[in-house]
């Protein structure tokens, strides 16, 4: 029997943690990849390590499936982001709800690196938490952009890749619901306690939905989604 394999783009945030659970349900062997581009908030990378340490113990079928973790250092990406910070604009939240330090096309860069790693490791399924429902401001999260990327990677590397995005059309409440379906209360608790989403890197305040500043667009989405899911579940 062939071993099915996947590579999950895993940042340590809520969406990519749900993706990881989704992949652990479906693939015999699941590897992860993360990008270190000098994030101002090292908490993201710490959250990654904590989730990786705990997730496979949450469900019997997940045990033994989680395999190698890859980290790719992309300091240039951080520099591009810093440039936008110091040159033209101060850090502001733009009308689309993105911080002005956001690097355009970031997911396309991540997917190219992920495909290069996957190619070498005989993996054709790339799994990511991109979602076009709540993040309309990120054009590289849209399904049409990722379909084109899948095609470009396939042509450029002469290998058929499949980019799977289980969260693409879910609302934030839907993401909490999926987490509960996949890993029950244990996965929801892991997300609350150990994942990180806040743009400010703030983990000093604990809310019902997890840690964060409570004010930035990322915290706002996470909180609203959680409350909506709780209201629906009751």
Contact residues for Zn ion, defined by CB under 5 A = 198, 200, 212-213, 216, 219
To Zn ion, the closest distance from the beta carbon of 221 in angstroms equals: 10
For Zn ion, the closer of residues 139 and 214 by Cβ is 214
In this complex, which beta carbon is closest to Zn ion, that of residue 138 or of residue 161? 138
Give CA–CA dist 112/157, Å, rounded. 10
Sheet holding 66-73, edge to edge: 66-73, 29-36, 5-9, 125-127, 162-164
> Which CB, 212 or 225, lies closer to Zn ion?
212
Least distance from Zn ion to the Cβ atom of residue 60, Å:
35
- Which is nearer to Zn ion, 118 or 192 (by Cβ)? 192
Task: Give least dist CB 200 to Zn ion, A.
Answer: 5
At closest approach, how far in Å is the CB of 217 from Zn ion? 8
Q: Cβ 216 to Zn ion, closest distance in Å?
A: 3
Q: SS3 sequence, 104-166?
A: CCHHHHHHHHHHHHHHHCCCCEEECCCCCCCCCCCHHHCHHHHHHHHHHHHHHHCCCCEEECC
- Burial label for 89, CB within 10 Å (0-12, 13-18, 19+), is exposed
| Integer angstrom CA distances of residue 162 from 26, 79, 106, 126 | 14, 30, 19, 6
Which residue, 99 or 154, is less far from Zn ion as judged by CB?
A: 99
């Amino acid at each position: 029997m062939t071993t099915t394999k996947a590579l999950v783009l895993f940042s340590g945030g809520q969406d990519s943690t749900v993706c990881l659970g989704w992949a652990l349900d479906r693939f015999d062997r699941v590897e992860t990849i993360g990008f270190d581009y000098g994030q101002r908030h090292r908490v993201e990378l710490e959250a990654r390590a904590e989730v990786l340490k705990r997730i496979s113990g949450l469900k019997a079928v997940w045990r033994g499936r989680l395999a190698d973790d890859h980290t790719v250092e992309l300091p240039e990406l951080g520099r591009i982001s810093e440039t936008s910070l110091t040159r033209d604009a101060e850090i502001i939240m733009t009308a689309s709800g993105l911080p002005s330090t956001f690097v355009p096309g970031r997911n396309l860069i991540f997917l190219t690196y992920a495909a290069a790693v996957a190619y070498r490791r005989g993996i054709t399924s790339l799994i990511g938490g991109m979602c076009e429902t709540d993040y309309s401001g990120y054009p590289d999260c849209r399904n049409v952009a990722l379909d084109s990327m899948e095609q470009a990677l396939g042509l450029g590397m002469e290998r058929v890749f499949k980019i799977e995005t289980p969260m693409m059309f879910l609302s934030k409440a839907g993401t909490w619901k999926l987490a509960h379906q996949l890993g029950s209360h244990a996965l929801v608790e892991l997300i609350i306690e150990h994942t990180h989403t806040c743009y400010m890197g703030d983990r000093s305040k604990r809310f019902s939905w997890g840690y964060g500043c409570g004010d930035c667009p990322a915290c706002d989405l996470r909180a609203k989604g959680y409350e909506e899911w709780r209201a629906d579940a009751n």
